[in-house]
Amino acid sequence: MKKAIHYINQFFAGIGGEELADHKPEIREGLVGPSLALNSVLDGEVTHTIICGDNFMGSNTEEAVKLILGFLEDKEFDIFIAGPAFQAGRYGVACGTIAKAVKEKFNVPVLTSMNEENPGVEMFKKDMHIFKGGKSAAKLRDDVKVMADFANKLLMGEKTGSADEEGFFPRGIRAQVWLENGPIASKRGVDMLIKKLNDEEYISELPIPELDRVEIASPIMDLSKANIALITTGGIVPVNNPDRIQSASATRWGRYDISNDDRLQSGVYKTIHAGFDPAAADADPNVVMPVDAMKAYLKEGKFGKLHKYFYSTVGTGTTQAEAMRMGKEIVEKLREDNVDGVIMTAT
């Protein structure tokens, strides 16, 4: 019989609510809470349930992940299922975080379920199958069933369908499929045009997302008085990475005082960006974050003032939503400090 391990939070384990959200990870043999429902519809056995407090996972992520991966080292399992997390934000992010780590370490299929409002969807939908779930625990059985149906196909080696057919959030993967006895492209095209001409509903086979274009800013008229700041998505940070910015899929940013530096020294700064070969940037961080050139220009009087901090995060795999949030936070700080212009460097 195929084996599954299930991840749930402290609330669904019956340990407690908000006041017990710091609950440390534990593993129990057998079924706890939602695992019962899962086990009853799975063509396999849920052998263990992992329980972790949402706050613990949120604020001690590294430790939580390490502990849980440790629990799993000596276990045999064919699939890892987390949640469903419904609309609970921290629970959703926890499910995504641990499922991603399990997939990377043990290379087994991982599934979870969340409501579309859950921020975990945007953060993790490209990394795993996240099924479209209800808003609250009233939908527990339905959500578990949808995940289990898909899990059963995976466990039996059966063919699985598209995101729409199976009910998961599209992962940004598009593949060709043959329409069973389907109309040819010409017929589909002509039918679509007739509907469009008659203002009837139609479904485009390639939906194009709205682009959020930012207007180009007006130029700074007098550079000699301008206060210029440096920002990078190239992951340049002090070597101890004090803000614990992630090497990929970043959700955090940091700012570092360069008022007393003529250049960024190797060994003092480095890159933690996982999307390129770090050798050159570690040997000379100025190739990504050009503090040296800016200080030289400052001495030449090309511009008025170099802002005392540079700002840094990592661009690789970072979702648009997270990037937008971080951008807004950084802009607020820049405004407080009367920064007039920004030079932004990538990798």
Residue 278 Cβ vs other proteins, minimum distance, rounded to whole Å: 23
- CA–CA distances in Å: residue 79 to residues 36, 108, 203, 317: 16, 6, 35, 25
- Residues paired with 114 in a beta bridge: 132
Residue 107 Cβ vs other proteins, minimum distance, rounded to whole Å: 16
Select the residue interacting with other proteins from 73, 76, 175, 259 (CB under 8 A): 175
Nearest Cα to 272, choosing from 309, 290, 246? 246
Asked if 206 touches other proteins (CB under 8 A), the answer is: yes
Structural element, H or E, at residue 237: strand 236-238
Looking at the Cβ atoms of 193 and 268, the one nearer to other proteins is: 193
Select the residue interacting with other proteins from 2, 171, 295, 325 (CB under 8 A): 171
Asked if 320 touches other proteins (CB under 8 A), the answer is: no
Contact between 339 and 307 under an 8 Å Cβ cutoff? The reply is: yes
Q: How far apart are CA 112 and CA 98, in angstroms?
A: 10
Looking at the Cβ atoms of 16 and 189, the one nearer to other proteins is: 189
Window of 25-33, 73-81, 157-165, 332-340 that interacts with other proteins by CB under 8 A? 157-165
Q: How far apart are CA 57 and CA 325, in angstroms?
A: 21
Asked if 298 touches other proteins (CB under 8 A), the answer is: no
Asked if 154 touches other proteins (CB under 8 A), the answer is: no
Looking at the Cβ atoms of 126 and 295, the one nearer to other proteins is: 126
Nearest Cα to 289, choosing from 272, 307, 310, 268? 310
Contact between 272 and 312 under an 8 Å Cβ cutoff? The reply is: no
Determine phi and psi for 67, rounding to 5 degrees: -60, -45
Omega before 170 cis (within 30°)?
Answer: no
Looking at the Cβ atoms of 169 and 303, the one nearer to other proteins is: 169
Q: How many residues bind other proteins (CB under 8 A)?
A: 37
Asked if 279 touches other proteins (CB under 8 A), the answer is: no
Asked if 182 touches other proteins (CB under 8 A), the answer is: yes
Asked if 215 touches other proteins (CB under 8 A), the answer is: no
Contact between 37 and 73 under an 8 Å Cβ cutoff? The reply is: no
Contact between 151 and 81 under an 8 Å Cβ cutoff? The reply is: yes
> Phi/psi class of residue 124: alpha, beta or left (left: φ > 0; alpha: ψ in -120 to 50)?
alpha
Asked if 214 touches other proteins (CB under 8 A), the answer is: no
Q: What is the 3-state secondary structure (H, E, C) of 72-131?
A: HCCCCCCEEEECCCCCCHHHHHHHHHHHHHHHHHHCCCEEEEECCCCHHHHHHCCCCEEE
Select the residue interacting with other proteins from 208, 214, 221, 279 (CB under 8 A): 208
Asked if 211 touches other proteins (CB under 8 A), the answer is: yes
Residue 274 Cβ vs other proteins, minimum distance, rounded to whole Å: 17
Looking at the Cβ atoms of 150 and 253, the one nearer to other proteins is: 150
What residues between 119 and 148 interact with other proteins by CB under 8 A?
A: 126
Residue 265 Cβ vs other proteins, minimum distance, rounded to whole Å: 38
Looking at the Cβ atoms of 211 and 217, the one nearer to other proteins is: 211
Select the residue interacting with other proteins from 107, 198, 240, 259 (CB under 8 A): 198
Select the residue interacting with other proteins from 19, 164, 222, 336 (CB under 8 A): 164
Structure tokens at 84: 């469903």
Structure tokens at 202: 């139609």
Asked if 116 touches other proteins (CB under 8 A), the answer is: no
Residue 179: alpha-carbon gap to chain centroid: 33
Select the residue interacting with other proteins from 186, 240, 259, 260 (CB under 8 A): 186
Residue 125 Cβ vs other proteins, minimum distance, rounded to whole Å: 11
- Contact positions vs other proteins (CB under 8 A): 126, 162-164, 170-179, 182-190, 192-194, 196-198, 202, 204-206, 208-211
